[in-house]
Chain A
Amino acid sequence: MKSTRTFASLVLAATLATLGVRPVPAAANATGWIVGGAAVAAGTLVIINHNKKVHEKYAAYDAQVASEQAAANNAQAAYRAERQAYQHEAWLVSEYKHEAQVQHRMVVGLEQQLRGRPAHVAEASVRGGSSALAPDANGSYGWGTL
């Protein structure tokens, strides 16, 4: 491929040099057309080569764009992962809130139960709740004096 390109360039250069050194005689008109056709072909090759270069650049650009898109896709994937992680954390926070609400309701319920009971009950249940009951002089058990 490269040799073909080089050959075409040489042909084009030789043609141009020939045209520049001496004018083409009328008898050689057919030959001139042939040389001219070769020049046109060489120019076409140059154009094609240029286009190829352009396409190569575009391909590189596209590859770069593809790479950037891939990077962008990765970033988006990372974003999605981050978002999912956030949603999980938000879910955890909501669960913590729910747990706190349940515990709060339990505390309020227990407080209401304590308020509903006579103060001495809660007090006695906590204070000295396990104190032993000793018999009095008559061997009786209980509370108060008869």
Chain B
Amino acid sequence: MTRALARLALASATLAMSACAPPGGPQQLAVATTRAVYADDLDGTIAHFDPALRNQVTSGAVGQLSTTLRALGAMQGFTPVGSTPAQGRYDYRVAFDKGQMLVQLRLDGDRQIAAYRITPLAAQ
């Protein structure tokens, strides 16, 4: 009985912690940014970039990346493939209808994206 209560309390605490987690988690940042790139949305692409990275972005480059991603068809989902939180590094594999991409992030101390890279992956 006591053990069951402890498990329930732990589950509740875990649920509460996940509910209280900041909305801008690394995967959410990756998803939001990649979807914005896919949609050729400049504002959405740089919405979570830090000021230094924003200055590097051009609408033409976003459009170029958007074309590359759309060539792979519809976007399916994100799968975490590695992370180094101490360095703010997070990698995700993004599946498309006709291929997949590796999305890599580096977050700064303010949890803003300091680097965003997309690498084509060989078809499996």
Cα of A124 to Cα of B59 in the assembled complex, Å: 7
Residues of the B chain whose Cβ atoms lie less than 8 Å from the Cβ of A131: 58, 60-61
Residues of the A chain whose Cβ atoms lie less than 8 Å from the Cβ of B42: 121, 124-125
Residue in chain A with minimal CB distance to B106: A146
Is A143 a contact of B115 with CB atoms below 8 Å? Answer: yes
Is A129 a contact of B54 with CB atoms below 8 Å? Answer: no
Chain A, 28-46, CB within 8 A of any chain B CB: none
Instruction: Among A117, A118, A133, A144, find the residue whose CB has the most chain B CB atoms closer than 10 A.
Output: A144
| Main SS at interface, chain B | mixed
Residues of the B chain whose Cβ atoms lie less than 8 Å from the Cβ of A132: 60-61, 64
Cα of A123 to Cα of B51 in the assembled complex, Å: 13
Is A140 a contact of B119 with CB atoms below 8 Å? Answer: yes
On chain A, the number of residues with a Cβ less than 8 Å from chain B's Cβ atoms is: 24
Q: A120-B51, A143-B53, A146-B106 are in contact. Are A129 and B58 (CB under 8 A)?
A: yes
Residues of the B chain whose Cβ atoms lie less than 8 Å from the Cβ of A146: 89, 104, 106, 115, 117
Is A144 a contact of B65 with CB atoms below 8 Å? Answer: no
| B114 touches which of A121, A125, A141, A144 (Cβ 8 Å) | A144
CB<8 Å pairs between A and B, sample of 11: A118-B46, A120-B54, A138-B119, A140-B117, A141-B65, A143-B56, A143-B57, A143-B117, A144-B52, A144-B106, A146-B115
Please give the residue numbers on chain A whose beta carbons come within 8 Å of chain B beta carbons, in ascending order. 117-118, 120-121, 123-125, 127-133, 136, 138-146
Please give the residue numbers on chain B whose beta carbons come within 8 Å of chain A beta carbons, in ascending order. 42-43, 46, 49, 51-61, 64-65, 68, 89, 102, 104, 106, 113-120
Q: Which 5 A-B pairs have the closest CB atoms?
A: A144-B115, A130-B60, A142-B117, A140-B119, A133-B61
